[in-house]
Structure 1
Amino acid sequence: MRHTPSFLMTEVDEVRRLIDGNPWATIVSHTAAGLVASHYPFLLEPSADDELVLVSHVGRPDEVAHELGRHEVLVVVQGPHGYVSPAWYPPEQFVPTWNHTTAHLWGTPEILSDDENFRVLGDLVDHFERAMPSPVSLDVDEDTARRIARGTVGIRLRVTRFDARAKLSQNKAPEVADRVIAGLRADGPYAAPALADEMARVRARSADVRDDGREAR
């Protein structure tokens, strides 16, 4: 990503929150045949406070196309994002931008056993079904589910490094950021309420940190 130190997201908990809220990610591999990209849902696995561990699966033969387990891959997680119009800026600020929350995660995938893969598949189903009024589980017909699971390969990615950004108008005056939030929440071609909520959350969090700093002094 572009080098923008003022928008760096360095706290592991914040990156974990981004992944948890935006599980649909892109896997990019640099293979002998060239670049390969695929898209799959990822879940966070419980881990130490300073460690990020992701689990997922790929459909065969993607594990061959990506040469999974043989080298490092890049997983890209994209959170709320959207166009920011200069209509929400003062007249002298007429250059638009794009706000976003994004994380690049690197690691070498570990190939899971068949049993671990089936467990991860079950966890993925349960994770997304929990929002449904009558959740469906793979336990409905485990034999059939296990047969279908043979067409997938489970992976675990222990993240060795990450580069994350939260570009949310932190470089703008508070009153300008407020107008951007209002514009994103209003009806219109560039409405993006999830992005507005993320901007408001980060602004409130920064204000709390500043207040705590003043109290400490």
Structure 2
Amino acid sequence: MRQNPSFAMTDPAELRRIIELNPWATLVSDAEDGLVASHYVMLLDDGRDDLTVVGHVGRPDDLIHGLGEREILIAFQGPHGYISPGWYGDVQAVPTWNHVSVHLSGVPEILSDAENLRVLERMVDVFENRMPSPRGMWQLPNDEAFVHRLAAGTVGFRLTPARIVAKRKLSQNKPAEIVDEVIAALEGDAAHADPALAAEMRRARDERRGSRS
């Protein structure tokens, strides 16, 4: 991802927030047969306060990616959407796409079977606990043999990134009044409205205003 200093995202707390809110990630590696990409849920390592993430792949994706043997890139995609030039007013303009993206790169550590099982259990709980009647991984009708059989079909890993590239392209290069107009359009009910992207733009705008005061 090409970085532009105006759009760079460097606050670790903000990066953790984006990862936590957008756990469905793309895993990319340069494999023996060329580039390969897979899509899996990733979570921040709850035993760390940095950008270390944990996850798993299904077999044989571990072999396809050479997991643990070579560098991988994990891409997290936050809110993103189309920005119409009509929202800029009567000025020369072209469309663009606003987005928030976080890329983590490094060589992952393969988890032990016990560690992988704990990560899988936590992953289920993170999402299932939002349900009105949560159903945990060990809850009936699942039994121990069933859980261990499914876990055996996965390979867990932990990635402490050696390189981090994060970008928040949210119209920071536009005048404040145009940013406000774009936010209002995204919060409306017309085509391309996107409340999540509007909220992210508002967050970035308020952060800039706060840093100037």
Q: Same fold (TM over 0.5)?
A: yes
Partner residue, 1:103: 102
Task: Give matches, 1:37-186, under 5 Å.
Answer: 37-46=37-46, 49=49, 51-140=50-139, 141-143=142-144, 144-186=146-188
Deviations 1:131-168 (A, max 9, x none): 11111101213412121111111111111111100011
97-106 vs 142-151, greater mean Cα deviation = 142-151
Partner residue, 1:12: 12
- Tell me, yes or no, if the aligned pair for 1:9 and 1:15 is still in contact at 8 Å: yes
* Secondary structure of residue in 1 paired with 2:138: helix
28-37 vs 137-146, greater mean Cα deviation = 137-146
Partner residue, 2:193: 191
Which blocks of at least 5 consecutive residues in structure 2 are unaligned?
A: none
| Letter matched to residue 17 of structure 2 | R
CA distance in 2, matches of 1:67, 1:48: 25
* Secondary structure of residue in 2 paired with 1:98: strand
The TM-score with structure 2 as length reference comes to 0.94
Which blocks of at least 5 consecutive residues in structure 1 are unaligned?
A: 212-217
37-46 vs 139-148, greater mean Cα deviation = 139-148
CA distance in 1, matches of 2:180, 2:165: 27
Q: Is the alpha carbon distance of 1:112 and 1:142 closer, same or farther for their aligned partners in structure 2, counting shifts above 3 Å?
A: farther
* Secondary structure of residue in 1 paired with 2:124: helix
The Cα shift of 1:93 comes to: 3.1
Which of these residues, 203, 206, 209, is aligned with residue 207 of structure 1? 209
- Tell me, yes or no, if the aligned pair for 1:117 and 1:154 is still in contact at 8 Å: yes
How many residues are matched?
A: 210
The alignment status of 1:21 with 2:14, answered yes or no, reads: no
CA distance in 1, matches of 2:88, 2:21: 29
What's the RMSD between the two structures over aligned residues?
1.3
Q: Percent of pairs identical after alignment?
A: 54
CA distance in 1, matches of 2:17, 2:143: 31
The Cα shift of 1:47 comes to: 5.3
